[in-house]
Amino acid sequence: MSRTRLAPYLSHVFVPLIALLLGGCVGVAAGVGATVGVAAYQERGIEAAAIDLNLEAQIVKLWLQQDETLTLKLGVEAYEGRILLTGVVEDPEMRADAVRLAWKVIGVREVINEIQVTSDSGFVDLARDSWITTQLKSKLTLDNKVLAINYAIETVNGIVYLIGIAQNQGELDRVIAHSRTIAYVRQVISHVRVKGTA
């Protein structure tokens, strides 16, 4: 889930839930089907994807209870119970709270803290970061040697963070190489697991 993008997150989590509860909206139901279809092709499978989505929702819920600005400043990506936290805060205590709350959720196996503490981030940086993420997703989707569906991408202040499952080291190397060819990327940090490794 991207930082400062709570609305899209809400639409991905709550709209499908509402659709399931109401059982009537064909368009939204089709969206749920598409989401399930995507999960079926992911390396982690439907059940693990659902568990990860639930972990993200629980973390966001705890953040909202603690301080609603956490959800505006930070992003959370769950992959196989591994939680990647990204974003920018000005207060180290806020970062500590976000990490502490993530660890409270049952089922979390690891918390990867990539939250930056700085006051040097603004709207231009957010727009550029979003552009970088979009460019990288496009490159990975168009590369037939990469299973793009197995990667989650976050960009913060020009730093690209990757999490997911690579089919092999060669595929991961291609993903990182694609990341480095995009303008404004300052660094690439991978938390991707290579298939077959612990």
Write out pLDDT tens, residues 73-108.
999 999 999 999 999 999 999 999 999 999 999 999
132-161 pLDDT, tens digit each: 999 999 999 999 999 999 999 999 999 999
Beta pairing partners, 110: 82
Rounded Cα gap, residues 29 and 49, in angstroms: 18
Q: What is the amino acid identity at position 167?
A: Q
The ranges of the chain annotated as CATH 3.30.300 are 6-117
pLDDT number for residue 89:
95
Q: Output the DSSP codes for the chain.
A: --TT-HHHHHHHHHHHHHHHHH---HHHHHHHHHHHHHHHHSTTHHHHHHHHHHHHHHHHHHHHHH-THHHHHEEEEEETTEEEEEEEES-HHHHHHHHHHHHHSTT--EEEEEEEE-S---HHHHHHHHHHHHHHHHHHHH-TTS-GGGEEEEEETTEEEEEEEESSHHHHHHHHHHHHTSTT--EEEEEEEETT--
The answer to whether 152 and 125 have CB atoms below 8 angstroms apart is no
The C-alpha angle 180, 185, 188, rounded to 5 degrees, equals 60
> Which is nearest to 66 in space by CA: 40, 91, 31, 39?
91
Q: What percent of the chain has pLDDT above 90?
A: 71
Say whether domain 123-194 belongs to CATH 3.30.1340. yes
What are phi and psi for residue 189, nearest 5 degrees?
A: -120, 120
Q: Residues of CATH 3.30.1340 domain(s) within the chain? A: 123-194
Phi, psi of 87 (to 5 degrees): 130, -170
Question: Using one digit for the tens of pLDDT, what is the confidence trace for 160-183?
Answer: 999 999 999 999 999 999 999 999
Task: Specify the CATH number of the domain 6-117.
Answer: 3.30.300
Say whether pLDDT at 51 is over 90: yes
* CA separation, residue 127 to residues 151, 155, 159 (Å): 21, 10, 13
Q: Report pTM.
A: 0.79
Q: Are the C-beta atoms of residues 97 and 67 closer than 8 Å to each other?
A: yes
Give me the residue label for tokens 């040697």.
Answer: 145
Average the pLDDT over each of 27-36, 57-66, 96-105, 117-126 and give the range with the smallest value: 27-36
